[in-house]
Homo-oligomer: A and B are copies of this chain.
């Protein structure tokens, strides 16, 4: 079993060094890491083949295997991802505010790294290099614990990053990998309060819930998106169809996809058949409440669980509501505080929806699929926070920083 105390202690020391690097030094190290990834493409593809062989043995589905599979192009994209992180503006050292107080003290609030970040993830191998480079750029040491499906790929990727650091005379412990996939190790990692400043889980709802319930280390909850689109009585039919089709079917497996359609009763009879026609083309299955199902011949009757389910599949729950108030109440009761959208021409409906819906991202006349750090313009993303503390919504480099007050005096004492 991995000695997490040792990893933690090494990470803490590396974090201290990393916090003192200037931006140029960090960028040079990131470029070296990117080059090392590309130089080792063959080895990476071999390690990835071991993961794929394992997947075959375990009868993993083709769609999952595709997520797991690396190609020459995908390895190159990982290296490019690291270079892009190098090009992002370094938030560390920025003085966010500075002022003189009544005692004559000059007080500044400076951005500093958080320290040591733990990441527990299930996703594709590129999360390894993405997360490592984002933590590095923001001056944080990171301990990565990936899923067993991509174990060989992840382990080799971290080895390569560490060697690149060492070759450039920097501590390899800035980026570390938990080299077993035992559940006990993950659980122990969640208790590592002496060493980890924050733990970010990335993966399915089960993982997130397990981490949230068991971690003593502060957690930033990410990811699950039980998202809604509310089609108001003053919506345009064509726009509603386009947005629903996009939010549901452009990529149903992601957290910013839509799971439930709420539609105002005044337009249900006219809109629903047209929406159904489009969704059938896209192979979307409908689970409708009693009223909606009257206009949706293809639908099965929705159960109460459907309203609370993140399908991540070609399935959409549909419900007719009497008013925008009923829509907002339904959303705030069932949603996971991720992404919500209204389609309407009515000004007051937009303002009401924006003000009253409780979610990280609330949209007017746009697809929920835009909730993403790259799309928002942050240049990168470590995950999408669905909690309210520290960071909410897509998290870029800024979300990986803390602050420190620096105070310049000339002998002041408190009276």
Contacts and interface: CB of A to CB of B under 8 A. Distances in A.
A57 interface: no
A356 to B, nearest CB: 7
Interface in A93-138: 99, 101-103, 105, 107, 114-115
Interface residues of A, number: 67
B377 A218 contact: no
A246 B216 contact: no
B367 A412 contact: yes
A20 interface: yes
Interface stretch (A165-173, A174-182, A384-392): A384-392
A197 interface: yes
Contacts of A413: 242-243, 245-247, 250, 366-367, 369
A235 B376 CA distance: 49
A389 B218 CA distance: 8
Total copies of this chain within the assembly:
2
A247 B243 CA distance: 61
A226 to B, nearest CB: 16
A101 B376 CA distance: 6
Contacts of A4: none
A387 B389 CA distance: 12
B362 A405 contact: yes
A101 B378 CA distance: 10
B406 A366 contact: no
- Nearest 9 interchain pairs by C-beta: A366-B409, A246-B413, A388-B402, A369-B414, A390-B390, A361-B405, A366-B412, A389-B390, A239-B411
